[in-house]
Amino acid sequence: MSEYGIKENIKAVEEIITAECEKCGRDRSEVTLIAVSKTKPVEMLQEAYDYGCRDFGENKVQELMDKYEVMPKDIRWHMIGHLQRNKVKYIVDKVYMIHSVDSFRLAEEISKEAVKKNVTVKILIEVNVANEASKFGTTCEEVRQLVRDIAKLPNISVQGLMTIAPFVDDEEKNRCYFQKLKKISVDIMDENSDNIVMETLSMGMTGDYRVAVSEGATCVRVGTGIFGVR
Ligand SMILES: *Cc1c(COP(=O)(O)O)cnc(C)c1O
């Protein structure tokens, strides 16, 4: 047993992802496992890193910056939480991808700061597929136009879509939402617009990543299943 049991947890999650990929004829390399390390100390992240994990997800700007400072530089940091415009400047040159863009104004700010720092920022558009009042994200109706508008901004690259499905007791209940997000991404891809690639589908968390993989997720964001309860 490793110090925090994290290696064993990652191994178990990996096995489920691999099995699901085999079941639905996908290549395991199509799915990136993002270890969601929010609220967890760097010692735990280091254990995941030592086991081979290079993709970490954080939902707060300050915490991401603190961990960025002390952790190895080959980590890909994924910003998965709601992002305030006034904090964009701190992370545009540190994150690998921002999963939680849900408004034109936020995208404009990211673009502006990216131009200043001379970087191109990969982003996903967050869609509130289940229309939950408690969640951020654009609607299924608005997402297409939003993607088109954002794609015109400099130094920003739209890579795909992200959703946070409802908290459910049975993961099968979320299958319809993953199918819907996949369909929207295919529809947008079919438009063949400049500066829009729909290669990334970030969906699935500890409670439902198996179903998400079977519906086409290319990123799953697993926190509790790797680091334990928060
Ligand atoms: C916390 C969080 C996760 C991970 O949730 P778990 O249920 O612990 O796996 C995934 N995505 C987002 C956006 C989160 O905020």
Tens of pLDDT, residue by residue over 50-71, are: 999 999 999 999 999 999 999 9
- Ligand 1 pocket (Cβ < 6 Å) reads 36, 38, 59, 80-81, 164, 205-207, 221-225
Residue nearest to atom 12 of ligand 1 (CA): 80
Residue nearest to atom 13 of ligand 1 (CA): 80
Is the separation of the CB atoms in 179 and 215 below 8 Å?
yes
Tens of pLDDT, residue by residue over 82-139, are: 999 999 999 999 999 999 999 999 999 999 999 999 999 999 999 999 999 999 999 9
Distance CA 222, CA 225 (A): 6
Which residue among 171, 221, 226 is best mutated to probe the pocket of ligand 1, counting the most ligand atoms within 8 A of its Cβ?
221
* Token output for 213: 């993989």
Which residue among 6, 36, 226, 230 is best mutated to probe the pocket of ligand 1, counting the most ligand atoms within 8 A of its Cβ?
36
205-212 average pLDDT score: 98
For the chain, what percent of residues have pLDDT higher than 70?
100
Is the separation of the CB atoms in 85 and 113 below 8 Å?
no
Mean per-residue pLDDT of the chain: 97
16-37 average pLDDT score: 98
Going by pLDDT thresholds of 50, 70 and 90, the confidence category of residue 48 is very high
pLDDT at 94: 98
Which residue among 56, 134, 174, 205 is best mutated to probe the pocket of ligand 1, counting the most ligand atoms within 8 A of its Cβ?
205
Full-model pTM: 0.97
Distance CA 222, CA 205 (A): 5
193-221 average pLDDT score: 96
For residue 93, the CA-to-ligand 1 centroid distance in Å is 23
